[in-house]
Copies of this chain bind each other. A is one copy, B any other.
Amino acid sequence: MGELRKDPILGRWVIIATERSKRPGSYLVSDDCKQDQSIQCPFCYGNEKMTPPETAVVRDPQTEPNSQGWQTRVVPNKFPIMDGSQPFDKKNKGIFEFSSNFGRHEVVIETPHHCKEIDNQTLEDVQTWMRIIQDRVEQLYLDEKIKYVLVFKNKGKEAGASLMHPHHQIIATPVTPKRVREELLGSELYFNENNSCVFCDMIKDELKQNERVVEQTDNFICLCPYASRFPFEMIILPKKHSLDIFEKHIKDNLAELSALLQRSIKRLTALIGDVSYNYIFHTSPNRIKLPDHWKHIEKDFHLHIEIFPRVTKTAGFEWGTGFYSNPTSPEEAAKDLREVKYDI
């Protein structure tokens, strides 16, 4: 018999459909990075001129900008979905509202190696791009017209990646996105009722119930959320109440966070193969010149990384209701992820 579960932050219902229960072996896997090795990859060594000029870079100081010799490289997206230079300004056309698409869209090329995904990189590689991501978010938030910066990774075709070379994307938006606003409203509601952060309380309960924890370190925890939408969905949170990806506590413990993120992906691929996945960083909205009625987010909101393998399709039911149906319970998923053997 299945069960309905409510996400404690978003109030979103998920159906844990155990009647359709699926084990790791029954999910699709794919081997993506080799699919486009024949095309000229704009993210590989020697093709630096195929991208717009570097915004940020870690490279051998002996080398020229936009040439070989880099380790991690940030460039504007050549086909940006947000890049308007005119500030956000709503206009009307009859009942309809529109605006210029003010924002930024950057690509973080993690490594020069076309097929060296996060689970095959060194810990130092991971730390390098994590540090550059922190820097870019911090820099973008200096512009008060930027209300939110989303960092995300699309790995594999099923996850929407159009280039298989390992990279992250950063999109800066002129409004706080709906999905983030829902988290802010849900966590405000919880705070008003309980006088505590819903994320902090969730961590406490997860440690107490000890059924969905994949791994914890001194400062971070990785778990399968109680109301997981997808099989083998994970969330990584700092145990201490933290808001920004670039705040001191996170910077001080970046090696630990990088290693945990890498191990979580290693567990996933050890379990179900070279799978497509997305992950997103939900950092705080821009707190420069935060209006008074948003000040509460400093108490309510809590940095987290959501990781979700793309092994199921969202269909009419999900799109029509906002419910999700998940054929693998998070308890089973956490057990499998916890116990799987992966390369150190």
Contacts and interface: CB of A to CB of B under 8 A. Distances in A.
Interface in A273-319: 278-282, 306, 308, 312-319
Contacts of A169: 316-317
A282 B319 CA distance: 11
B308 A319 contact: yes
A226 B96 contact: yes
A56 interface: no
Contacts of A171: 317, 321
A227 B90 CA distance: 14
A23 to B, nearest CB: 15
A179 B98 CA distance: 22
A95 B202 contact: yes
Given A1-B100, A13-B178, A101-B15, A320 B282 contact: yes
A26 to B, nearest CB: 12
Interface stretch (A109-117, A153-161, A253-261, A263-271): A153-161
A19 interface: yes
Copies of this polypeptide in the complex: 2
Contacts of A101: 1-4, 15, 17
A175 B13 contact: yes
Nearest to A276: B313
Interface size of A as a range = 35 or more
Interface in A139-153: 148, 150, 152-153
A154 B316 contact: yes
Contact of A313 (B90, B98, B159): B159
Nearest to A93: B209
B321 A278 contact: no
Interface string A218-229: 000000001100
Nearest to A86: B1
16 contacts: A2-B82, A2-B84, A3-B100, A4-B88, A4-B100, A6-B90, A19-B83, A152-B320, A154-B316, A158-B313, A160-B314, A169-B316, A173-B321, A179-B319, A182-B322, A280-B320
| 7 closest cross-chain pairs (CB), A and B | A160-B315, A152-B316, A177-B321, A280-B320, A178-B322, A179-B322, A160-B313
Interface of A: 1-6, 8, 11-13, 15, 17, 19-20, 79-84, 88, 90, 93-101, 148, 150, 152-154, 157-161, 169, 171, 173-175, 177-180, 182, 198, 201-202, 205, 208-209, 226-227, 278-282, 306, 308, 312-323, 325
Given A2-B101, A15-B101, A96-B226, 17 more contacts: A2-B84, A4-B174, A6-B98, A8-B95, A8-B96, A19-B83, A94-B208, A95-B201, A95-B202, A153-B316, A160-B312, A171-B321, A177-B321, A177-B322, A179-B319, A308-B319, A314-B314
